[in-house]
Amino acid sequence: MVPLDEADNDFGSGGVMLLPYQPGPRPRLATAAGKVGQMFLLDRDHLGGYNPGGPNNVLGTFNIGGCWCGQSYFLGSDGVGRVVSSGGNNAIVWKLQTSPTVTLAKESTSAALSSGQDPGFLTSVSSSGQIADSAIVWAVARPTNSNPADVTLYAINPNNGATLFSGTAGTWPNVNGNANLVPVVANGRVYVASFKRLTIFGLGQTIPFPAITERVAVALTAPTSNAISGTVSSINGAQAVLTTRTGNTVQIDLTKAQQANQSVPLAVGSPVIVSGTKDASGVMHAETITHAKPDPALWPADR
């Protein structure tokens, strides 16, 4: 497997999916994917261990693209299991082969979803049991900018990767953190929970479900602290200077955030988000300091 190293090639962004029991000699399978861009097919009873320099003693290794994402599983109309991966902003459907060898065979690949932040997304699958052509892969793509920071619901045909539907499903203003939004499908409707909003998608007018409805939650209390995004331009002890997206500079007092262990490691040139309060002289007294995306278009609005 991939070691945890300074390149940050870990599975914290993806994780492991346990498959239902399968026929054949290896019934207890799992898939795992992460930042390195590979999905591994594993035998849960014989993981194989890690061998420095290789080979990886897994059942299969499959390139899917960087995965800040999660896999999903469904049973095809032929009674054979499928795994849906979503690394690199493409939904890929893999057919599970359990005999004579255990592996995954690629069946379809969707077009790249229009999604910002880190690559990947989370999927759900709906179907009418094993009725042919009834399966649909649902995915919510992350915002591509900070305003309006729309998230988009996609419906994908797993047979050929074609996009069946796409539509705005709310917003996620915290574009610095990956929006891990999972569409929920129940009783002919798709539910997407986003920032202060639950959007409910229904089928068309040919059956008795509404087209599209929305439920908007009660607005939350506005935050009282300030938050500024920018690039660290200098550091001197517990003092730093932040250059904002507009080119202005802000003096940052790091003391409180560092004493409370609420600051990421800082270096000149690092993009960060600083939250705290400003005094009368304009100095920001930082309470938390987190990483920001390299692209200023994905920085949240300053306040």
> In this predicted model, what pLDDT tens digit does every residue of 68-113 receive, in sequence order?
999 999 999 999 999 999 999 999 999 999 988 999 999 999 999 9
Q: What is the pLDDT of residue 1?
A: 45
Is the model more confident about 188 or about 239? Answer: 239
Alpha-carbon span 274 to 254, nearest angstrom: 10
Structure tokens given for 93: 């459907």
Q: What is the pLDDT of residue 225?
A: 80
Question: Cis bond leading into 148, ω under 30°?
Answer: yes
Structure tokens given for 68: 């800040």
Mean pLDDT for the chain overall: 86
Q: How many other CB atoms are there within 10 angstroms of residue 142's CB atom?
A: 27
Alpha-carbon span 242 to 269, nearest angstrom: 9
Q: Give the number of residues written for the chain.
A: 303
pLDDT at 175 over 70: yes
Domains of the chain, each with CATH number or no CATH: 15-216 (no CATH), 226-291 (2.40.50.140)
What mean pLDDT is predicted for residues 134-140?
95
Which residues are within 8 A (CB) of 165 and not within 5 positions of it... i.e. 6 or more apart? 153, 154, 155
Q: What is the pLDDT of residue 298?
A: 84
Alpha-carbon span 5 to 24, nearest angstrom: 36
Percent of the chain with pLDDT over 90: 60
Q: What is the pLDDT of residue 207?
A: 37
pLDDT at 212 over 70: no
pLDDT at 6 over 70: no
- The pairing of strands 189-194 and 197-202 is antiparallel
Alpha-carbon span 141 to 60, nearest angstrom: 28
Alpha-carbon span 110 to 182, nearest angstrom: 18
What mean pLDDT is predicted for residues 179-201?
92
> Do residues 93 and 161 make contact, with C-beta atoms less than 8 angstroms apart?
yes
Nearest alpha carbon to residue 139 among 108, 101, 180, 170: 180
pLDDT at 218 over 50: no
What mean pLDDT is predicted for residues 167-174?
92
Lowest mean pLDDT among 108-112, 138-142, 185-189, 238-242: 185-189
pLDDT at 221 over 60: no
Q: How many other CB atoms are there within 10 angstroms of residue 112's CB atom?
A: 13
Half-sphere exposure of 151 (CA within 13 A, CB side): 30
Q: What is the pLDDT of residue 224?
A: 57
pLDDT at 276 over 60: yes
pLDDT at 7 over 60: no
Alpha-carbon span 32 to 51, nearest angstrom: 17
pLDDT at 214 over 90: no
At 240, is the pLDDT very low, low, confident or very high (cuts 50, 70, 90)?
A: very high
Alpha-carbon span 165 to 141, nearest angstrom: 13
> In this predicted model, what pLDDT tens digit does every residue of 22-76 receive, in sequence order?
998 899 999 999 888 999 999 999 887 777 777 778 999 999 999 999 999 999 9
User: CA distances (Å), 99 to each of 24, 104, 126, in order?
Assistant: 6, 11, 27
Nearest alpha carbon to residue 155 among 135, 171, 170, 172: 135
What mean pLDDT is predicted for residues 243-272?
91
pLDDT at 206 over 50: no
